[in-house]
Each structure stands twice: as C-alpha cells, then as structure tokens.
C-alpha cells in the first residue's frame, strides 16, 4: 500500500493473491489485504497533505500531471503487458487502456491553466461578480478491474488538478495494475500524502473510505448494487458521490444499414474486452427485414474469433476476469435458451490450456424479446441478444425500455433516422454508424437512469465531480448597495 509517500504493509499482515485470468497457475503477485485501520491512516495522510496541495498553484499541479502522462507514455508497453497478464484483455486493448490514462492526464494537466469560472456583470455599479472552482478535500476513489489503469486516471487526474487529495482503493482483481500507476504518480512528483493507495476488500477498505467523516467526495465505478449501497451510506453524511454503474447497451440496425459495417461494429462492441465494458453492446435491435442476413454475418464472423491469452497475437478474445464471472455468465445460458434460440457459443471454453483460464465462448441468442431477462439484466460477458422489431419506432422503444442508459448506437444511411436517434435514445452516449464503445476522454462520459447519479467522468464535466463552486462579489463603490432593491428604477 502507498501511504504518505511510503510503500507500507497492512497493520494486520494479511495478503491476497492476484491471478492471471488466462492461466490461473500464474500468480501475478501478493498484495496487502488492507483494513479499516489502514484506510484511516491513508485518510489521515491525505488530510495532512491537503493544505499545501490546495495552496499549490493549479498550473504547477498540472505540470505534475503532465509529467505523469509522459511517464505513462514512456512505459506504455510495459504497463500494457502487465495489464493483459493481470486483467486478461488483449494487448491492443490494454495499450488503449493505458492510452486513455495518458489522454486524461494530458487533458487535465491543461485544466491547471484553464479551470474556467465565470465573470459576469453585476446588477449594481462598481461591483464585481465571478465564480471560481475550489477543491472539495479528500477524495475517495474506488475503481473496477475492467479498465484498471484508465478509470483510476479518469478519476484521479481531475481530482488532483483541482486541488483535492486522494485515497485510492483499486479493485481486488487488479492490484498490480494499480500499483504500477501509483509508482509512476510518485515518480512524477506528487508530494507525499497527495496520493495514497490502500488495497483490500470493498467490505473493509471501501466501506471505511465511504463511511469516514474525513473523506469529502467519493467517485465509484462498478456494479449497480455496490453503487446503490455506497450512495446510501454516503447520504448519511450528505457526502458528494459520483457513480458510474451498469449498462445494457444496444445497437439498432435499420434495414437500409451497411450490414458489413454494422457487423464490424457489433462484434467489436459485444466481444471486445470479452464483453466486460460498461459500454459493451449486449443487445442488437434489428428491423425484421434484415434479421436473417445480419444474423448470418454475425454468426459466421463470431465463429472465427479465437480465444486465448491476450498476450498472443493470434488471440481475438481474452478470458473473463475470474471463475465467478464464468459462473455468472453461464447462469444466463439456460435463461436465454428458454427465451430465444442459442445460435452460437453458450458454454465455458475449456479445450487444452484454456482449461487453466476463465474462458467463455462468444455467445449469440436470436429471437429475443425486449423485456426478456437476457435483454434486461447486465451479464458483463460475451453474450449478445438479437431482438427483431418492426420499425424504427419499435426499435427506439425497445432501446429505451431498460433501467440503464449508458451508450447506444444506430446503423443507418438515412440522415433523418440518424438525427431521430440522436434525439430519442435515452443514453449518455450515442453513436451513429459505430459500435457502442470507444468514448474519448474530452467529452463527458456517463449514463442516464440507473447507470449513474447524474455526474459525469472525463471532459470538463469531470471537474464538477471534484469541485465546489464559490461565487464571489466585490463591491468597490464604498457604500452599502443592496442587490434586488437598490438601482431598481425602470429604464
Ligand atoms: C467502462 O467500461 O467502464 O468507451 C469504460 C469505452 C471506453 C471506456 C469504457 N473508452 O468503451
């Protein structure tokens, strides 16, 4: 663990192992199983570092972020390989994950010299009115394993450039990735105590951070049920919480679409990262006229996807994160068989050496109805449901008929239909003629409905999660001037 600028062991002396999901015989490392007492020490260290950090000029804070981004870039290949080994995603995607961390570091480094507030005219003469952003204090950052470097960076970079200090609890499946990121943060020059990391379980470390009266803001990405529990706990202290939770993202394919392009987009969004993205496509809503040809293309292309270690060039689809994930995805197969027709896959893949890893075959169900369970519940694996509908209206209704609202997409050549989709789809991100994944770091990232609680990551919007607004009025008239009362004569 990293507390007050030192690498330390947990007070309880317990550890846990991180395993390679492509080959569980490969132990990536042993990590400290932190406790509430460790979290308290990290929070204390952060509090001690806060006054100096928030007094450091923001452009100077930004320079450290810039150095961190450069260090990530210099170490990109090493970081990506370590990520593939610990988390499983194929190397090209791991490089993308590191790149997303670099992108947000550079974007937020620039915020050190922007961080715009507003300057507006006062309604009274000789009076100045403006608003500025100020840090909230100690930020608790609780992150998932599926983007084990990008998401911690998405959260920590805006928190730090705006002058907050951080207590970071990474997912227990990817502590090594987190450690590598924090090592580079230390090397970049964040002062001791500004960034602290405590590894360990959500029940012990996560809850201690969420419940602490000395942690002022929480940013969490992960499972909806955990997010709801965090929101409830934090509400007792009216603590600011920003949540990025589940998704049930759909691609709509209209009958005029380029079906080859749609197939590319759907396969990449559904089976890339083995379906383990919040933005992954798990529903294809398709006009009846083109169901048959689209299904044929999806099936024949998905059949050719090669499973294996993400470190091999020959691999298209890596493993699931852990055996529990294989079990969970597997539990949806019987459900899907009852609801529709299993077209492809449907089982864990255990041929040869795959048996040592957590592999699941890319799976496609056809003939699914919008309200079926496989079309409603987040499976977080390589399972795609194809839902036939009569027309755009039915597609739009089906797309919106879910409790989530992260990402959506439409394939069409008709510009009028594209604009309808942009207007009608109830999601935080909409793609036209592209899959549901691949958000860039300079626009807001987040979802409607139960995908979140109204906050956004990335872009300028991320600053809102980590700052308080302060509105400032300076009266230089030398007399009492009453707003809304004086100076009210009709023009
Ligand atoms: C996530 O799955 O939580 O748009 C993040 C994307 C990536 C980020 C996904 N840039 O798919």
Select from 248, 226, 198 the least CA-distant residue to 372. Answer: 248
Give tens-digit pLDDT for 362-399. Answer: 999 999 999 999 999 999 999 999 999 999 999 999 99
For residues 254 and 240, state if they share a domain.
no
Domain extent, residue 267, equals: 249-432
429 lines ligand 1 (CB under 6 A): no
Segment (H or E) for 3 = strand 2-3
Arithmetic mean of pLDDT over the chain? 97
Q: How far is the CA of 122 from the centre of ligand 1 (A)?
A: 42
Q: Phi and psi of 366, rounded to 5°?
A: -110, 165
For residues 237 and 295, state if they share a domain.
no
SS3 251: strand
For residues 182 and 277, state if they share a domain.
no
What is the model's pTM? 0.97
155 lines ligand 1 (CB under 6 A): no
Q: Phi and psi of 165, rounded to 5°?
A: -110, 160
For 344-347, the CB contacts below 8 A with 24+ separation are: 344/299, 344/302, 344/303, 345/302, 345/382, 345/383
- Identify whether 244 is a catalytic site residue: yes
Q: How far is the CA of 277 from the centre of ligand 1 (A)?
A: 6
For residues 173 and 291, state if they share a domain.
no
Which of 244, 339, 450, 457 does the annotation list as catalytic?
244
- Is residue 317 a part of any domain in this protein? yes
For residues 459 and 419, state if they share a domain.
no
For residues 236 and 253, state if they share a domain.
no
Largest CA distance in the chain: 86
Q: How many domains does the chain have?
A: 2
Averaged pLDDT for residues 347-356 = 96
CA distance readout (Å), 415 to 394, 432, 472: 19, 10, 46
Q: Is 232 buried (19+), middle (13-18) or exposed (0-12) by CB count in 10 A?
A: exposed
Report residue 341 CA to chain centroid gap.
Answer: 32
> In the predicted model, is pLDDT for residue 491 greater than 70?
no
For residues 168 and 29, state if they share a domain.
yes
Cα 397 from Cα 389, distance rounded (Å): 10
Which strands make up the sheet holding 127-135, listed edge to edge? 118-121, 127-135, 467-475
Q: How confident is the model at residue 31 (pLDDT cuts 50, 70, 90)?
A: very high
For residues 237 and 209, state if they share a domain.
yes
Q: Which CATH number do you get for residue 465? A: 3.40.605.10
- Identify whether 153 is a catalytic site residue: no
Report residue 43 CA to chain centroid gap.
Answer: 24
SS (HEC) of 403-414: CEECEEEEECCC
Residues sharing a CB contact under 8 Å with residue 71, sequence separation 6 or more, in sequence order:
184, 187, 188
Give tens-digit pLDDT for 59-108. Answer: 999 999 999 999 999 999 999 999 999 999 999 999 999 999 999 999 99
Q: Which CATH number do you get for residue 336? A: 3.40.309.10
């Amino acid at each position: 663990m990293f507390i007050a600028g030192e690498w330390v062991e947990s007070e309880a002396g317990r550890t846990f192992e991180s395993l390679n999901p492509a080959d569980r015989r490969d132990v990536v490392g042993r990590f400290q199983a932190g406790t509430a007492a460790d979290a308290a020490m990290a929070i204390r260290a952060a509090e001690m570092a806060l006054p100096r950090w928030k007094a450091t000029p923001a452009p100077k804070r930004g320079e450290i972020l810039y150095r961190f981004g450069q260090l990530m870039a210099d170490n990109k290949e090493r970081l990506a390989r370590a990520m593939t080994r610990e988390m499983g995603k194929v190397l090209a995607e791991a490089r993308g994950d590191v790149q997303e961390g670099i992108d947000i570091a550079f974007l937020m480094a620039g915020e050190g010299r922007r961080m715009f507030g507003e300057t507006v005219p006062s309604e009274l003469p000789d009076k100045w009115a403006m608003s500025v952003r100020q840090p909230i204090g100690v930020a608790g950052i609780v992150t998932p394993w599926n983007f084990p470097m990008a998401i911690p960076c998405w959260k920590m970079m805006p928190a730090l450039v705006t002058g907050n200090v951080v207590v970071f609890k990474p997912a227990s499946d990817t502590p090594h990735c987190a450690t590598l990121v924090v090592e580079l943060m230390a090397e970049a020059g964040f002062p001791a105590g500004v960034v602290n990391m405590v590894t360990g379980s959500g029940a012990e470390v996560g809850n201690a951070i969420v419940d602490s009266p000395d942690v002022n803001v929480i940013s969490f990405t992960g499972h909806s049920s955990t997010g709801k529990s965090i929101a409830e706990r934090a509400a007792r202290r009216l603590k600011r919480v920003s949540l990025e939770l589940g998704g049930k993202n759909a691609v709509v394919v209209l009958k005029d679409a380029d079906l080859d392009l749609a197939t590319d987009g759907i396969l990449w969004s559904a089976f890339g990262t083995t379906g383990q993205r919040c933005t992954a496509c798990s529903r294809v809503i398709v006009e009846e006229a083109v169901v048959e040809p689209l299904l044929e293309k999806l099936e024949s292309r998905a059949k050719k996807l090669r499973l294996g270690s993400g470190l091999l060039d020959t691999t298209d689809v890596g493993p699931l994160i852990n055996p529990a994930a294989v079990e969970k995805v597997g539990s949806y197969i019987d459900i899907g068989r009852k609801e529709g027709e299993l077209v492809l896959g449907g089982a864990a893949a255990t041929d040869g050496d795959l048996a040592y890893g957590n592999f699941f075959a890319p799976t496609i169900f056809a003939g699914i109805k919008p309200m079926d369970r496989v079309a409603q519940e987040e499976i977080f694996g390589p399972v795609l449901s194809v839902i036939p509908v009569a027309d755009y209206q039915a597609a739009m209704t089906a797309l919106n008929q879910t409790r989530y609202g992260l990402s959506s997409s439409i394939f069409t050549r008709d510009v009028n239909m594209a604009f309808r989709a942009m207007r009608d789809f109830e999601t935080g991100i909409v793609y036209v003629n592209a899959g549901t994944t691949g958000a860039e770091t300079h626009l807001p990232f987040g979802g409607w409905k139960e995908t979140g609680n109204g906050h956004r990551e990335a872009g300028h919007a991320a600053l809102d999660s980590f700052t308080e607004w302060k509105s400032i009025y300076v009266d230089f008239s030398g007399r009492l001037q009453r707003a809304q009362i004086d100076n009210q004569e009709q023009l």
